[in-house]
């Protein structure tokens, strides 16, 4: 039994049972181990952001525009940048609102996610559920095919999106 040195404190007892040999060079090994199960830390984002994406809605866009123009009616020149940026931020917060600050974990990638990938993943999950319920070899093969297809679809989607992003950068 191999174990890293940092895990030695988890091994409480270890012994070989003589007479119970699997093959001439192997013996049965019994180990008492105390494993620590660590909970996965949740990602905490404390920064609350203004929901700027809501400006895609024409009604909200018009309301935001009116709010900003209402606050910028004065003709003062000094500190104009601070006043303008503060007014825009304030109007954005009032009209659009703020996020809760709980965003997706930073390692989650969704830039390549599309409908084709969504459908493929859904088919794979259904095949897995079917195989789990029945335990039949045919269902296992169906799940393996769906899994391979999903991997191909994801790879194609990532490549396509990456290529699109590169082309967009080259055009700029």
The mean pLDDT of 144-170, rounded to a whole number, is 90
Residue 45's closest CA among 100, 90, 96? Answer: 100
d(CA 143, CA 150): 10
Residues listed for the chain? 172
Q: Where are the domains of the chain?
A: 1-36, 52-96, 115-170
Question: What local confidence, expressed as pLDDT, does residue 21 receive?
Answer: 65
| 170 C-beta neighbours (distance < 10 Å), count | 7
Please write the tens of the pLDDT for every residue from 20-66. 666 777 788 888 888 877 777 766 667 778 888 888 888 888 888 88
Crossing angle for the helix pair 58-71 and 80-96, to the nearest 10 degrees:
140
110 neighbors 154 (Cβ within 8 angstroms): no
d(CA 119, CA 154): 11
Backbone φ and ψ of 154, nearest 5°: -65, -45
């Amino acid at each position: 039994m191999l174990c890293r040195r940092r895990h030695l404190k988890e091994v409480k007892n270890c012994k070989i049972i003589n007479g119970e040999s699997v093959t001439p060079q192997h013996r049965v090994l019994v180990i008492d181990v105390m494993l620590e199960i660590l909970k996965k830390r949740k990602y905490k984002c404390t920064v609350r952001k203004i929901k700027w994406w809501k400006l895609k809605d024409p009604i909200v866009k018009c309301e935001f525009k009116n709010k900003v123009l209402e606050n910028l009616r004065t003709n003062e020149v000094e500190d104009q940048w601070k006043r303008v940026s503060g007014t825009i931020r304030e109007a954005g917060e009032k009209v659009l609102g703020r996020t809760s600050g709980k965003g997706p974990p930073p390692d989650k990638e969704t830039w390549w996610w599309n409908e084709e990938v969504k459908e493929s993943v859904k088919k794979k999950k259904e095949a897995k559920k079917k195989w789990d319920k029945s335990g039949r070899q045919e269902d296992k093969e169906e799940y393996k095919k769906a899994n391979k297809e999903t991997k191909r679809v994801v790879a194609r989607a990532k490549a396509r999106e990456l290529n699109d992003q590169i082309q967009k950068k080259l055009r700029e």
